[in-house]
Amino acid sequence: MECSEARIRLAGSVDDELPSAERAALEVHLGDCAACRGERSGQWFVHRVLGREATRHTASPALRRRVRAALRAADGRRAGRWWTRWTWTLPVPALGAALAALLAANGAILATLHPSDDRVAEDVLAGHVRALVTSHPIDVASSDRHTVKPWYAGRLDFSPPVTDFAAEGFPLEGGRLDYVDGRTVAALVYGRREHRVDAFEWPAPDARAEPLRVEERRGFHLVHWTRGGMRYWLVSDLEAAEIERLARLLERAAQ
């Protein structure tokens, strides 16, 4: 799939409207194209975060009074009827000041928005599905943490915790690089019988600690939490109880 074709499908991807075959082909392309991944991240903001959160904010009473006062000064009539007598004689400075105030208020609202867990969840799920359909799901294949952990040196700006849980039924199979929430992250790969679990890890030094949470999306279970300045996201088609068990093991190992 070429970039031009992929970008046509990005909107359908972020709205979860693509057929499964097209979605899989797009994920393969995104795995190799940083530019298209960045474009998708931007569309996630526009389609999901901005559309869901920004529309919840309304103008404050003070801002409404300022806009109405400017409109009354513009044509000497009530604000509720101004559109019926619009002329080019309206005082531009007054309207300009009102519009500037409105834009400033909306800018302040948008500045307070933060990357949504919804977008992170979709990035994590996309990375997992992409790895399942490609022939190269692991960059460094090893169950030895002393092989996997050093492999990340120089490839990431942090050192991810790496632990093998073969004794508990979750053998480490290796690791790879992935892309979540606009940055490169570590993706550790664990096995569980015929299933695979991807554990995504990246630093979040300013994030507050968050307890472990489990959710389901399109037949996959996701577990995530934040602790010790790190964010953790796990995804698999395992039962919720099983993937949560691995999450607890990782949580204890990182303490």
Sign of torsion, CA 232 236 241 246?
Answer: negative
Tens-place pLDDT, residues 165-212:
999 999 999 999 998 988 899 999 999 998 999 999 999 888 788 999
- For the record, the structure tokens of 247 come out as 């999450």
Tens-place pLDDT, residues 226-246:
998 899 999 999 999 999 999
CATH 2.160.20.60 for domain 117-128+137-253: no
Contact 111, 167 (CB under 8 A): no
- Nearest Cα neighbor of 81 from 73, 92, 71 is 71
Question: How many angstroms separate the CA atoms of 215 and 217, rounded?
Answer: 7
Tens-place pLDDT, residues 40-79:
766 665 555 455 545 555 666 777 777 777 777 766 655 4
Question: How many angstroms separate the CA atoms of 60 and 5, rounded?
Answer: 43
**Residue 201: which H helix or E strand, with range?**
strand 195-203
Contact 110, 142 (CB under 8 A): no
Global pTM reads 0.57
Q: What residues does each domain of the chain span?
A: 57-111, 117-128+137-253
192-193-194 Cα angle (round to 5): 105
Please name the residues in contact with 30: beta carbons below 8 A apart, sequence gap of 6 or more. Answer: 6, 36, 37, 40, 126, 130
Q: Where are the beta strands (DSSP E) in 128-171?
A: 140-141
